[in-house]
Amino acid sequence: MKVVVIGALGKVARHLLPLLARDGDDVVGAVRKPEQLDEVRGLGAEPLLLDVEHASAEEIAAALRGADAVVWSAGAGGGNPDRTYAVDRDAAIRSMDAAASAGVSRYVMVSWIGSVPDHGIPEDSSFFAYADAKLAADDHLRGTALDWTILGPGSLTDDAPTGRVERVADGVKLARGEDSAVPRADVAQVVADTLREPLTVGRFVRFRGGETPVPDALRG
C-alpha cells in the first residue's frame, strides 16, 4: 500500500512512519520545509515537499496521484487562530478534495476525541479555534464519497506505547477532569491498523488509553 502522510514530522507521525515502513508499505512523508526532507528519510519514508497551507487543491492532487491512502496528521500547532483555520480547516479540506480528484479513496483524519458539535469549548478559549476548525474539517470529510475514518484520540502523552486502547462510544461526553490520556505512539498504531481495517470506514473512532489490543478495539 502506498500511503501519503501529510504532516510527516508531527509528534504522532514520527511514530507512524516507521510503523508503516516496517509493515512493508510504500510510505511518503509530506513536509513543508526542504531542511526536513532528510529527517523524513531517516524515519523510513520517501520525503515529499508540499506546503499544504499554501498549496492549491490541484497541487495537492498532483502530489497524491498514485497513492492508495492519505493520512492527515498535520496541524498549525495552536497559538495563532488565523493559521489554525488556514491549516486545520482550509488546507485539510483542500486535501480531501484533492484526494477525491486524484482517485485516492482511503482517507484517515487524525482529529481529537471532542470533535463534536457540543464540544463545550467556549469562544473565548485559546483552544476554540482548533476545536472549531477540526469540527469543520471533519464534517466536510463526512460529506465526501471518500472511504474515510476520523480518529479521535484523547489527550496526547509521550508515554511508552502499550498497544492497547479503550473505545469511547459515540455520544458519550467525558466528564470534566476525566482521564482521556493516550500515548502518541499508541495513536500511531491506531492509524496504522485503521488503514487495514475495513470496519473503520465511515466511522468516527474515539479512544483513549485502555486494556484492549488496538486491532480488537477497532473491530469492536
Q: What is the residue whose three cell numbers read 501519503? A: 4
Cβ atoms of 30 and 63 closer than 8 Å: yes
In which band, very low, low, confident or very high, does the pLDDT at 78 lie, cut at 50, 70 and 90? confident
Distance CA 68, CA 168 (A): 28
Q: What is the mean pLDDT of residues 101-105?
A: 98
pLDDT digits (tens, 9 = 90+) for 163-182: 999 999 876 666 544 579 99
Query: What are the beta bridge partners of residue 112?
Result: none
Cα distances from 109 to residues 1, 40, 89, 122, 189, in angstroms, run 17, 20, 12, 24, 14
Residue reference for cell 476545536: 131
Q: What is the pLDDT of residue 178?
A: 56
| pLDDT band for position 205 (cuts 50, 70, 90) | very high
Catalytic-residue membership of 107: no
Q: Into how many domains does the chain fold?
A: 1
User: What average pLDDT does this structure show over 50-68?
Assistant: 98
Question: Which of these is catalytic: 72, 112, 130, 207?
Answer: 130
Please give the pLDDT value at position 220.
81
Domain boundaries, position 70? 2-219
Task: Look up the CATH number of the domain holding residue 153.
Answer: 3.40.50.720
When pLDDT is averaged across residues 183-210 and rounded to a whole number, the result is 97
Total-model pTM: 0.95
Asked if 26 and 3 touch (Cβ cutoff 8 Å), the reply is yes
Average pLDDT over every residue of 58-62: 98
pLDDT of res. 177: 46
